[in-house]
Amino acid sequence: MTTATAVQAVLALENGTTFTGVAIGAIGAESQGELVFNTAMSGYQEVLTDPSYAGQIVTFTYPHIGNYGVNDEDVESDGLKAAGLVVHELSRVVSNYRAQRSLQQYLEDFGVAGIAGIDTRALVRILRSEGAMRAVIAHGSNLDPAELVERARLVPSMEGLDLTPQVTTATPYTVQPETDEAELSRTWYQYTTQQPTEAPSQTYHVVAVDFGVKRNILRRLAAYGCRVTVVPATTTASEIRALQPDGIFLSNGPGDPAAVTGAIATVRELLGTAPMFGICLGHQIMSLAVGASTYKLKFGHRGANHPVQYVPTGAIEITSQNHGFAVDPSTLPDWAEMTHVNLNDHTCAGINLPQHNAFAVQYHPEASPGPHDSDYLFQDFMRRMAASN
């Protein structure tokens, strides 16, 4: 995105590298956080509103971003959660019948700064070789790159950082199966082989622990007939049991899973009381609750086409992923099963805990953006709840 009155912007990395480009988003604002990259070709709105990106500046590897605009249906939360945006080119033209505003306007509305006009290929090569790193985006004509590098080095490290208080709900709320949200999810699946495409007759009460849950996860649970009670991340085990759930869901979220110590203890206490399903941060917290350990990936998994193998059958799923930490499978207890493997780097992508009727995956079966290959996991959760009732 370039204009005659374009404002200069600088992206400074903690390793001393700087890029000069054009300011986008909230002109004059500043963004700082962990710089990561996402390889999805579309779905920028879902990415930027995903609470799992709290504290992170997102670089899109696809060179042209923003051409279909932004709408109110495709948000994953109540607004922009990413700390900043880096693109090669931000589209000045919005062309889609669902668009309600431009991505530029959306960034302005939430006060998020970004940078365009830089070589994102070179930037991603740095992140792949040296790893995700702290960074600052600043706007202005008299910026000191060296000073910005020093400020980038002062940004808190993602390791040891519990960001769930920033993104969890303040109070419980309920998502009902007989709603427009559930019907919307069913509509999006009507041209796939996945179910349900009609409202199920059986309903289950699911308590979803919100570590930064994506809206489309809740929509998908509701589409399968679940009455979902969403509770804050600090909700105790006794408070969750008092809600008498048919199933317990552990959501995605940002930050270092090992730092979410309260939730780990809560999940440890809840395991075995009702069928349990975890996604991403929920997968890591469940693993930590049974004694496993987690570690930070070099540059993480963020994109909509990551191949995962379902170990019991050998089937391959193409998955949507967004995480910077992983579970060390060698630290899982002997009775735990590693059910899924990421075929890009052979990291743990899913577990089953047969002693506790619990399972989890290190990716997003609801996609948004991404393919619908893994929707069967929601069906598995429904079967587990049906068998327990």
The set of catalytic residues is 280, 364, 366
Cα separations in angstroms, 274 against 21, 127, 233, 280, 381: 52, 41, 18, 20, 11
Cα separations in angstroms, 45 against 48, 76, 304, 344, 347: 5, 8, 13, 25, 28
Q: How far apart are CA 251 and CA 129, in angstroms?
A: 30
Give the max Cα distance, the chain. 66
Q: In this structure, what are the phi and psi dihedrals at residue 296, rounded to the nearest 5 degrees?
A: -85, 130
- State whether the Cα torsion 174-43-78-69 is positive or negative: negative
- Strand, helix or coil at 123? helix
Query: Pairing state of beta strands 8-13 and 18-25?
Result: antiparallel
Q: Which structure tokens are listed for 47?
A: 């990415």
Closest CA to 78 of 210, 207, 220: 210
